[in-house]
Copies of this chain bind each other. A is one copy, B any other.
Amino acid sequence: MTPGDSSRDRRTDALSPARIIAAAIEILDTEGEQALTFRALASRLATGAGAIYHHVANKDDLLAGATNAILSTVVRSPPPDDDPHEQIRAIALGVFDALDAHPWIGSQLASERWRIGKVMILEAVGDRLAGLDAPRDREFDVASALTDYVAGVAAQSAADARSAPRDLDRETFLEVTAERWARLDLEEYPFVHRVVLPELARHDDRAQFLAGIDLILAGIRAAKGANEPRR
């Protein structure tokens, strides 16, 4: 799993972590999360199932490697703007869109707080915080809040993508959801009936995600000067 020198053009048929991870990503993207088994992976690589264990510790390790391969390119992509607000929004949206393209990352992000994938987001977000002059002694809290929010939404929408069958388009999916929620008790769920149901059909996941980011950023701005009680 160490990068080492980029000997990409050696092109032997030998197995390698990189080749295995690439094949795994292909299966995950084209056939979905539950299609990735060591048997399927072995047959795609024209080898035995056991051979894979010489290069990858286990299935968790394999999934972590695949997640990191995708995420590292997202996080490294140059932000289009100098404004740190825009940079943070761009990073967040980059993660969101990567999730859209590779829904299986969601379950990974939700379950590997201390692994490298999450740290990459924390770093990318945290590093831009200086430009916002967030309260110095709260940079860790702020970066964590943003990271947790991103990872949380990511995991959610990935779960949606997984649970919505392929033959169900987004529109009818929302309709089915709305019907189910409409049956909820009016007394017990006033907010759902008054606010959520009327907006559900026309709401946009990506815009709503960004609205949450902006809310947190506004919170940082508000906390900026207003909060220096002791030191």
Copies of this chain held together in the complex: 2
Number of interface residues of A (CB under 8 A): 59
Question: Cβ of A1 < 8 Å from any Cβ of B?
Answer: no
Stretch of A13-21, A22-30, A34-42, A106-114 lying at the B interface: A106-114
Closest to A210 in B: B141
Contact between A163 and B195 (Cβ–Cβ < 8 Å)? no
Measured CB to CB, the nearest residue on chain B to A113 is B156
The stretch of A4-12, A48-56, A77-85, A144-152 in contact with B is: A144-152
Q: Does A92 contact B (CB under 8 A)?
A: no
A153/B156 in contact, CB under 8 A: no
In Å, the complex CA distance between A153 and B119 comes to 15
Q: Is the CB of A155 within 8 A of B195?
A: no
* Interface core residue of A122, A152, A208 (most chain B CB under 10 Å): A152
User: Counting CB contacts under 8 A, is A196 at the interface?
Assistant: yes
How far does the Cβ of A186 sit from chain B's closest Cβ, in whole Å? 11
Determine the distance from Cα of A190 to Cα of B190 in the docked complex, in whole angstroms: 47
- Could you give 30 example pairs across A and B, Cβ below 8 Å? A107-B110, A110-B110, A110-B111, A110-B155, A110-B159, A111-B155, A111-B163, A113-B160, A119-B184, A126-B192, A126-B195, A127-B190, A139-B195, A140-B199, A140-B203, A140-B208, A141-B211, A142-B211, A143-B195, A145-B149, A145-B208, A145-B216, A148-B152, A148-B212, A149-B212, A212-B216, A215-B223, A218-B219, A218-B223, A219-B219
| Chain A residues proximal to chain B, CB less than 8 Å | 107, 110-114, 119, 122-123, 126-127, 129, 138-145, 148-153, 155-157, 159-160, 162-163, 177, 180-181, 184, 188-192, 195-196, 199, 203, 208, 211-212, 214-223
